[in-house]
Structure formats: C-alpha cells, structure tokens
Amino acid sequence: MPTDGGTMEKKGSQAGFINQCLVLTRRSFVNMYRDLGYYWLRLAIYIALCLCVGTIYHNIGSSFGSIQARGSMLMFVAAFLTFMAIGGFPSFVEDMKIFTRERLNGHYGVGAFVVGNTFSSMPYLFMISVIPGAMAYYLTGLQKGHDHFVYFVVMLFACMLLVESLMMIVASIVPDFLMGIITGAGIQGVMMLNGGFFRLPNDLPKPFWRYPMYYIAFHKYANQGFYKNEFEGLTFPNPTGGSISGEEILKSTWQVEMGYSKWVDVGILLGMVVLYRLMFLGIIKTVEKVKPILRSLMASTSNQSTHVEDPYSTPLH
C-alpha cells in the first residue's frame, strides 16, 4: 500500500481503464452491501409496499371493472415504486464527495467512476425488482405466464436504473442533500403527470406538455410497456354484451401506441439510462474545466481590486 499521496497519484495514473472499473465496481459493491440505508432499507420498504399492493388488488379477476384496477396497479408500480429510488440520493452525495477528492489526486477518471457505480448497483436493483415485484405480480393475479412476469421484472429494473441515473445527474448539479431530494422529486412529479395515466395522451395540451414533455417522460414508456404486457391476449366481458379484447382496451381506453412491440419500450428506457449516464459524465467533465477558469477570474479580479489606489488617501512621510 502506498504511504504518500504522490505515490498513490502515480499508481492511479498508471492503472488501466478496465482495472480502474473493476476496482471501483468491487469497492462500490462492498460499500453498498455494508450500508443498510443504501439498498437494504429500500428493499424492506419495497416488500412492505408490494405486500400492500398485492393485498389491495388481490385476485382482481377478469371482470370489466378489473380493467381500471389493472391500469391503476401498473401505474403505481411504474410511478411510485420507482419514485422511491430517490432514497439513494444521500449515498450518491457521499459518493460524489469521495470521487471529487480522489479525482483531484488523479486516482482514476470520470468514465471509470461512472462505469463502476453503474455495474455495482445493478445486482441490488435487480434483487429489488424480483422479490417485491413477484409479490405484487402474483398476489394481484396479473396475466399468467413466466414470459409476462419476466417482462414485468425487466421493465421495473429498467425504471429503477433510470431513476438512479437521473438522481446522479441531480447530485452532480445540486450537491445539497435536501435541495437535491426536492429537485429530484419535482422532476419525477412532472414526468408522472405526463405519463399518460392522470391525463390521457390525446387530452394533454399539445404545446409543451404533449410535445415534447410526453415523449421525454420515462413514465410514458413504462406505462405503455406494462399495459401491453398485461392486456395483450386477454379478453374482458363487455357490459353492453359480448366481449372486448385487450388490444381494443389498449387503443381506446389507455390510448397506447400499438405500432411497436412492448420490448421497444424497454429498449427506449435502457437507451435513456445510457443517455443520462453520459449526461452525468459530461456535467462532471464540464465542471472540472469551468471551475479553474472561474477561480482564475475571481483571483485576477481580487488582485486588481487590491491594487487599485484610493484617490482620497495621501501617502504618509
């Protein structure tokens, strides 16, 4: 182990990118495992919430009234379960402080930090998606079939990964704990309103809310993916007689875009995850370049102000 800062900086600068990513991934994984508040407390809360969801919507059946119940349950999963990912914000802030200190010492680069943080969190997020997700899915009695449950878990995992990526961006811009949580909650609240549940897509005001906010909000793709996964292939009794197919419900009731597969919605969310991580990397890089410029400008301004001679003062002899 190196004994001085200079040796550590030299070794850090000589380490390869892959080696840096592996070391940071392993260290971050261990830190997440030891910190009860990082994922373990969230897992317990998710289990409790999904038990509540599963018992409230227990065996909703296939009546006409279950259409609204299924949509509400899936919206809760897509919106409020993923919303709780902001609980990891305090840990993000601490990670950013450690990263800033070690980055100044030249131990590793920004890219290695982003990669390490991303891969170390994936096992925990997947665990949170599978265990509580299974409780909510099977207690509610959603569409049978392992392929439908697998899609449910994958979509939930993608949403949680995306929200964590969003909160990392917030942490890089707003490092204050309270202000960061408020900012992240506000951003997600606006996205929820444009997700296509509280206000159907065709009813959204077209300036700004429909274009572009509806397509920026990740809840749009989460809701539509969950709806396609659940309603496609099902039939429900029609109160006026006969039956109504799940595809008709998707088009008329939920106004889902049926021109592409439900897996495209997952792909869009994963693409947004990559975009958010790249934005996080770009923000850190920009801050690193802008900070020295601002400091030099402030220093030069301070020096100029100290050298300005007071016209009302007279020299002492």
Q: What is the DSSP letter of 309?
A: P
- The model's confidence at residue 308, banded by pLDDT at 50, 70 and 90, is low
Per-residue confidence (pLDDT) for residue 14, from 0 to 100: 58
Tens-place pLDDT, residues 177-196: 889 889 999 999 999 999 99
Three-class SS state of 211:
strand
Tens-place pLDDT, residues 124-168: 999 999 999 999 999 999 999 999 999 999 999 999 999 999 998
| β-bridge mates for residue 211, sequence order | 207
| β-bridge mates for residue 243, sequence order | 237
Closest CA to 121 of 167, 177, 75: 167
> Mean per-residue pLDDT for 278-302?
83
Per-residue confidence (pLDDT) for residue 11, from 0 to 100: 45
